[in-house]
Amino acid sequence: MKKEAGIGIGIAVIIVIIAILFTNADDLVVSEIDEITSEIEFENPIQSYEINTKCELMLIHLDQVEKDGGAWPVDENELNQIMNSKGIEIQEREKDFDFTKITSSDELEKRGTVLIDEMRWVVTDYAIDYNSIDPKFKDYVHAMLEYSLVDENRQTIMEFYNFVPNDYTEDIECGKTLHEKYSDKLYDFTKSLFGESTADRRHAEIKSALYG
């Protein structure tokens, strides 16, 4: 049975990285799986996806936030298997590294950050595959896994949440559903970025575009 939950990246990944750096592979408890891959075929011209518009992407994101605070739906058990497998792969790659060459906590932190980022991209690819998201939205999916306005994600997150009428009318049915469920959240975001008058004008333009 699949255990579905939302996923955001943070302390769980850090724990995995600590295990990679300081635990022997034989000590890791890993579920047996036949074959796991995080490679996704992005360039198949006949590939179709369930999530094809920004509206559809925002809808599944906000639905998951409402459900459990996660960024995207995932199969938790399957993702844990993939993370464990990737952890062992990194450990094998890192086992010959001489950590005595690291002479400061800053150097150790930088090395850990590189490994953590590698694991985050594994989760990004998995979330895209699991939810059948068009890979053109990869940057949005990755940024929202952080779900915070850290410098490297700030612009992408602002771009994702900054909905204009065309984002609703690209898929009218999705646009109406998104507006009915989450117009208050998106209004508040627009207000925080551009002020109340802009948010009011945008809200009126969106209603007009959707309902005439």
Tens-digit pLDDT string for the chain (212 aa): 455 666 654 445 544 544 444 444 344 434 433 443 344 444 555 578 999 999 999 999 999 999 988 899 999 999 999 999 998 988 888 777 666 677 777 776 777 777 888 888 999 999 999 999 999 999 999 998 865 445 567 788 889 999 999 999 999 999 999 999 999 999 999 999 899 999 999 999 999 999 98
Measuring CA to CA, which residue among 150, 149, 164 is closest to residue 201? 164
pTM: 0.73
Name the amino acid, one letter, at 52. Answer: N
Domain residue extents for the chain:
1-31+68-148
Q: Measured between alpha carbons, how far is residue 162 from residues 24, 54, 81, 171, 184 in Å?
A: 46, 11, 35, 17, 13
- For the chain, state the CA radius of gyration: 20
